[in-house]
Structures are given as structure tokens and as C-alpha cells.
């Protein structure tokens, strides 16, 4: 049976059924990790970066474990501590171009919890201008101005 991969190209889903290695050979692969983070009040942590609502995530550094990267990136991007990984969620794939280079980013997502009660601090140098705890109503509203793969991450938790 052929393995299928869902890849977002220009925020549109494409199901890749061709040889995955051949598909990947057209891109520089970047691996990242991030979190779907809830606090004690069951509010979701969201960031506003480059004009869109998003979830905290970032590149895995050389020699770093995937789970360590996910926690580090959430801490750095949101100024938050006391993070615990509850479980692994899904992996997402999306493409983009930077300086003429075609990138395929694979992101490993984790469900996280925190009891952090202090102010959130956006990582401005990463283009993050807002960090918020969002109730269900705001999450629905913000997802209208987000990326399709972020909706997939949130849906993966709902199921």
C-alpha cells in the first residue's frame, strides 16, 4: 500500500501519493517541534506572527531531542515556563520559499499543559507580536486568520 502524506503548499492541502523520497528531493528539509499548550483554565496558548494566528513552534537544533525542542521553542516564543508534555499529537508538513530556496518543514506537535500564571512575553525578534490565552470562542475566531495545518493540529486533539 502506498504511504500518503498531507502537505500544505501555499496553505492548500495536497495529498502526496508519489514516491515520498522523490517529492522530498525537491526541497530542503527542516524539522521543527511545537506545542498545543493549555493552562489550568483550559485556555489555549496562541501567538500572532507575521499577520496570522499560529501555535508556538520552531526548528530542532543539532543534537536536540524532539521533545526538548518543542518545550524550548514554546518557552522562547511565549516567555512561559512549567511546561509538561502530555502526549504526542500529529506531524504536519508545509512548504515555503525563502531566498529562492524551496523548504519542506516537518513539524512534530505535542499536547502540553502548564500552570504558569505570569505575564506572557512575545519573542519580537521572531516576528511574534502577541501571545494570548484563548478560550474556545476566540480560538474559533483566530483560526479564520491562521494556517490550515494549525487547524489540523487543533483538530487532532479534539478527536
Specify the pLDDT at position 157.
Answer: 82
The Cα 113–Cα 104 span in angstroms is 28
Name the residue among 145, 142, 126 with its Cα closest to residue 32: 126
67 neighbors 33 (Cβ within 8 angstroms): yes
Cell of 15: 495529498
Single out the residue of 49, 58, 27, 60 nearest to residue 132, CA to CA. Answer: 49
Q: 5-158 has which CATH code?
A: 3.90.79.10
pLDDT of residue 159: 46
- The number of angstroms, rounded, from the C-alpha of 137 to the middle of its chain's C-alpha atoms is 20
**All three cell numbers of 24:** 522530498
pTM over 0.85: yes
> Among all chains, which residue has been given the C-alpha cell 507580536?
129
* Residue length of the chain: 159
Report the run of H or E that residue 155 belongs to, with start and end.
helix 148-158
- pLDDT 10s digit of each residue in the chain, 159 long? 567 899 999 889 999 988 899 999 999 999 999 999 999 999 999 999 999 999 999 999 999 999 999 999 999 999 999 999 999 999 999 999 999 999 999 999 999 999 999 999 999 999 999 999 999 999 999 999 999 999 999 999 864
First to last CA, the chain: 25
Using the structure block, give the residue that is written with the C-alpha cell 504526542: 88
Task: Report the distance separating Cα 56 and Cα 70, nearest Å.
Answer: 8
Whole-number Å distance between alpha carbons of 139 and 53: 9
Amino acid at each position: 500500500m502506498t504511504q500518503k502524506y498531507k502537505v500544505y503548499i501555499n496553505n492548500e492541502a495536497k495529498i502526496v501519493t508519489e514516491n515520498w523520497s522523490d517529492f522530498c528531493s525537491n526541497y530542503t528539509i527542516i524539522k521543527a517541534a511545537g506545542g498545543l499548550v493549555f493552562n489550568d483554565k483550559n485556555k489555549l496558548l496562541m501567538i500572532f506572527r507575521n499577520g496570522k494566528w499560529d501555535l508556538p513552534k520552531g526548528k530542532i537544533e543539532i543534537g536536540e531531542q524532539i521533545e526538548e525542542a518543542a518545550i524550548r521553542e514554546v518557552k522562547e516564543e511565549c516567555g512561559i515556563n512549567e511546561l509538561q508534555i502530555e502526549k504526542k499529537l500529529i506531524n504536519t508538513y508545509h512548504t515555503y520559499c525563502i531566498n529562492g530556496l524551496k523548504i519542506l518543514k516537518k513539524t512534530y506537535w505535542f499536547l502540553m499543559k502548564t500552570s504558569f500564571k505570569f505575564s506572557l512575553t512575545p519573542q519580537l525578534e521572531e516576528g511574534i507580536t502577541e501571545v494570548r490565552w484563548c478560550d474556545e470562542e476566540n480560538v474559533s475566531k483566530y483560526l479564520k486568520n491562521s494556517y490550515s495545518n494549525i487547524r489540523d493540529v487543533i483538530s487532532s486533539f479534539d478527536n
